[in-house]
Amino acid sequence: MKYTRFLAPLLALCLLTACGSQPPETPAPPPEPQPEQFVFTRENFPRLNGSTSTVPLGQAIASVLLGESREEVSDLIQFSKTTQSYRELMWGPAELLIAAEPAEVIWQEKEESGFEWEMEPFAVDGLVFIVNADNPVDNLTTEQVQKIYTGEITNWSEVGGDDLPIVPFQRNAEAGSQTAMLKLVMGDLPMMEAPADYVRGEMGDLIEAVAAFDGSANAIGYTVYYYANDMKMAEGLKILSIDGVEPCDETIRSGDYPFLNNYYVLTAAGLADDAPAKILYDWILSEEGQRLVAHEGYVSVLDVGDGT
């Protein structure tokens, strides 16, 4: 297997050692040959794709490994969103994904095509529910969330809030957060068919709609914890606790928060160990890669602190 080392100054650890004053009794052995270094360049950097919420991580990876600024690598990070990114891995041109779990239709397409991929979680995230900051409701139970999205609960007064109708926003069918909503929250329960005005194709659009809908605190929506919290997209909004558990790094990594979903790194199965996509795949899962994941505000699968 080819071993690699990466010069990543933002992540390097400064190791301080003290030398004794007495010379050694026997000569030191000759140094071991250094492992061959792999250097990423624009020419060999794998074509990345993934979810909207992993765009900042893609920029950080390219910036660190290519030694360029985020602005300079922005042309390399043109993600197609969750569902389409999986198709671009299967059919081209993507070589490596950092993405949320795919929708069921992707598993079906994968089976039909016979495509095989290598897939491992590199971070965990929570599906969180957001309301206007002026909404007095701070917590919902899982059952209450389910009943809001089946249409059984229609007024905030039914869950301890003001006497206002609930406006439940949804994501589009192929969004990663919609896949998570159906899998983690709704299960076998039928989700209400939302009016077209209540469905948002972009994560940022949904957050803005919840914040500004009709100038009131009626609306509720869902997004991933990273996007709402670490990108500060929920300013003016409130992230609700679920079943009394506040979503945060600790409750997400421990599994105490109920609605959890992984981010995955994927590449085609069977790549040679020295293929750039395989090298990058392994690096993201390494301790160094995981420190970058944590540094960027994601909850890394390895507990590496805050990545500093």
pLDDT, tens only, 259-292: 999 999 999 999 999 999 999 999 999 999 999 9
Residue with tokens 């969330």: 145
Give the N- to C-terminal CA distance of the chain in Å, as an integer.
29
pTM (predicted TM-score): 0.77
Q: Are the C-beta atoms of residues 120 and 265 closer than 8 Å to each other? A: yes
Quickly list DSSP for 233-291: TTTTEEEPEETTB--SHHHHHHT-SS-EEEEEEEEETT--TTSHHHHHHHHHHSHHHHH
Q: What is the 3-state secondary structure (H, E, C) of 106-163?
A: HHHHHHHHCCCEEEEEEEEEEEEEEEECCCCCCEECHHHHHHHHHCCCCEHHHHCCCC
- Would you state the pLDDT for residue 114? 97
For residue range 21-53, what is the model confidence (pLDDT) as tens digits? 444 455 556 666 555 789 999 999 999 999 988
Domains in the chain, ordered, with CATH? 48-124+262-300 (3.40.190.10), 125-254 (3.40.190.10)
Which residues of the chain are under the pLDDT cut of 50?
A: 1-24
Q: How many CA atoms lie within 13 A of 154 on its CB side?
A: 4
- Would you state the pLDDT for residue 9? 44
Q: What residues are paired with 168 via a beta bridge?
A: 220
For residue range 1-22, what is the model confidence (pLDDT) as tens digits? 433 444 444 444 333 333 344 4
- Would you state the pLDDT for residue 208? 82
- Would you state the pLDDT for residue 23? 44
- Would you state the pLDDT for residue 191? 94
Give the C-alpha separation, 163 to 165, whole Å: 7
